[in-house]
Chains A and B, each alone.
Chain A
């Protein structure tokens, strides 16, 4: 067994240490929303978001070892022995953020991973409690595989975990309507404005801005959409949930996959229902992001043609 390079310092439990800050910022945001009338809070919605966060924490304790074991196993076959040096840490930061981008993009584009990630998008509100509305099934759905290439290259697993945790903490504060635009930071960083677009279900905003920390990946891979002040984001998912029940929120898409696969007529349909885009159906009768955007684009063109006449 080739043990990965141990960290030269004790890595703190970054997320646990951040929790007091989360609580403080949530209360400050509530005060701001109440005072300024900008943004929305609702106790029932926040309760379900926070319950999802609590469940995510419990699932991490119960099954998180699966991801750790996978990292350590892959690390045995690593290509290079990258140690804990500053250049390696800098490279790991960028590599982790790129891995997050592709995880996040595929989590929106493939139903298997969407079944876990949909939880985070299922609130019709967009505030700091939405940031904590997290999946219970991420590890069981093998979401961690997107970071395994980093370990295979040779980044120490603990370093990858550390930057994943830093990314998660970073992404907390961008779930707010209290902050508008942030000047030049908008060019490079993922900001509240960029992430509002990501959470929006308006056709023009669908499947955009998958960034974790740096928005540069969206700009590079063609998924960047800026927030348009003329079109206020509507939040949630295309088929809005009708419940605040955490168990229904956690498992509704998995139940949908199970229901569809049970009714599938052949292997193509099984694979389509499991790994096709969310909304995929054999006859194309259901809506996908692509079909919604296509309809919207056609409607825009039609409207423009009428105006031109």
Chain B
């Protein structure tokens, strides 16, 4: 790595920081919130034939777990101003309940474990889904 390479890399790093600061200063930091309507809308866009059967939302509205009518598991997490969904067969992700949290772990490192602080006690369907795998 030459001195010129070091300078251009350092310069690029500074430009990255500056551009992110500009974006932040211009107000591009809106965060999405998940609720039943948003989840249904996101599902319709991703899987038009999917139907929500049950859903739980985290206390902070940033993540959700749902069961679809065909038995599949849906997870959703807020990604800044967007939402990232995963729809997978029940059992394809590891679901557990611990201390008022529902935790879903995925094999894909592109989708880190999802931990939901539940507003209230886990509903029976969620307990059943977690129990099926323990």
Contact = CB atoms under 8 A, between A and B. Distances in A.
A242 B20 contact: no
Contacts, number: 117
B28 A43 contact: yes
Contact of B110 (A33, A47, A241): A241
Contacts of B110: 122, 239, 241-243, 248-249, 252-253, 256
Residue from A31, A40, A242 whose CB has the most chain B CB atoms within 10 Å: A242
A299 B23 contact: no
Interface residues of A, number: 46
Interface string A286-299: 00000000000001
Contacts of B27: 34
B124 interface: no
Given A50-B16, A57-B12, A45 B80 contact: yes
Contacts of B86: 239-240, 242
Interface in B13-57: 13, 15-16, 19-20, 22-24, 26-30, 45, 48-49
Contacts of B5: 61
A42 B12 contact: no
Interface string A41-58: 111111100110110011
10 contacts: A26-B19, A43-B28, A45-B82, A46-B19, A50-B15, A54-B13, A240-B84, A240-B85, A241-B111, A255-B109
A125 B83 CA distance: 11
B111 to A, nearest CB: 4
Contacts of A129: 19
Interface of A: 16, 19, 23, 26-27, 30-31, 33-34, 40-47, 50-51, 53-54, 57-58, 61-62, 122, 124-125, 129, 234, 239-245, 248-249, 251-253, 255-256, 259, 299
Interface in B83-134: 84-86, 107-112, 114
A61 B1 contact: yes
Main SS class of interface, B: mixed
Contacts of B67: none
A244 B111 CA distance: 10
A248 B112 contact: yes
A240 B78 CA distance: 11
B84 A16 contact: no
